[in-house]
Amino acid sequence: MATRESLLRLPDPKSNMWDLTAHYLRQTRKRKGLSGEALGRALQISKSKVSRIERGDERLDLVLAEKADIALGTVDLFALLVWYASFGHDPEWFPQYVKFEQAATWLRLYEADVVTGLFQTEEYARALMVSSIETDIESRVLERLQRQEMLTRETDLPNISLLLSQNALEWPVGSPRIMREQLGTLLEIAELPHVMVRVVPRSWECGAHAGLAGSFQLLTGEPWGDVAYTEAPGAGRLIASPAEVLKYALRYERISGSALSIERSIELIRRVMEAFRD
């Protein structure tokens, strides 16, 4: 007969460093004869949070990892695992990102190069996919469109703050028609009461700013608090350490300080849209 434990969805330690950390935490706790509740007391967190970490639904941060090393007598092992995991590319970054994105109550997004995925039209998204090395383009486009359902769902609408580089507005994707429709959709979404769109202008007045290093996302929600995501071609990284997340939050505020007001941003989007002609 299958036990409750055997039916749990447990992380695969061979898939990535985060799952290895979760797997080893569970195995070490069991070898020490500790219950989840006992480990939770040692880490000063709830039993349910211990379970979520061991299932890979949440991740250890450095503070909890150091407490785990003390409680389990593992001499810096978990602190080092978290350190290496935090600096590495995560092959499961996209499913992890979507899970946090869909449950977040507040999304702070900065996009340096293209319109953010949550706001993309079908044709714009497809044109981007065609230009990439994706093989199953239609499935990826469908996944992107399905994510957008969170923008108009009946309950638990998230607050979304988007900072968008002027480069993302002007870079030609697909065709002038596709660009006009994409920017028109962006203007429509910007009218939603729970969405704020501001543009970082490409001007001498703005000059070099904190967003030139690339795009990233800050996601706030329960029970995790704040996490940040940054991505590179084919990979991404979840940042859960409060100290690191704070750096991204400060970076977001600096970019925000360089952005136009909402009203001037809307005017700029309209001008760019009108400039695209067949």
Give residue-wise pLDDT tens across range 143-156: 999 999 999 888 88
Q: Which residue has the tokens 């055997």?
A: 6
Q: What is the pLDDT at residue 87?
A: 59
CA distances (Å), 249 to each of 83, 84, 169, 217, 246, in order?
Answer: 20, 22, 23, 9, 5
The Cα 197–Cα 205 span in angstroms is 20
Answer whether residue 253 shows pLDDT above 50: yes
pLDDT at 86 over 90: no
- Which tens digits make up the pLDDT trace of 22-46? 999 999 999 999 999 999 999 999 9
Query: How far is 47 from 17, CA to CA, in rounded Å?
Result: 23
Q: Would you place residue 88 in the very low, low, confident or very high pLDDT band (cuts 50, 70, 90)?
A: low
Please tell me the pTM assigned to this model.
0.71
For the chain, domains (ranges, CATH) are: 15-87 (1.10.260.40), 93-275 (3.30.870)
Q: Does the structure show a pLDDT above 60 at 163? A: yes
| pLDDT of the residue at 267 | 97
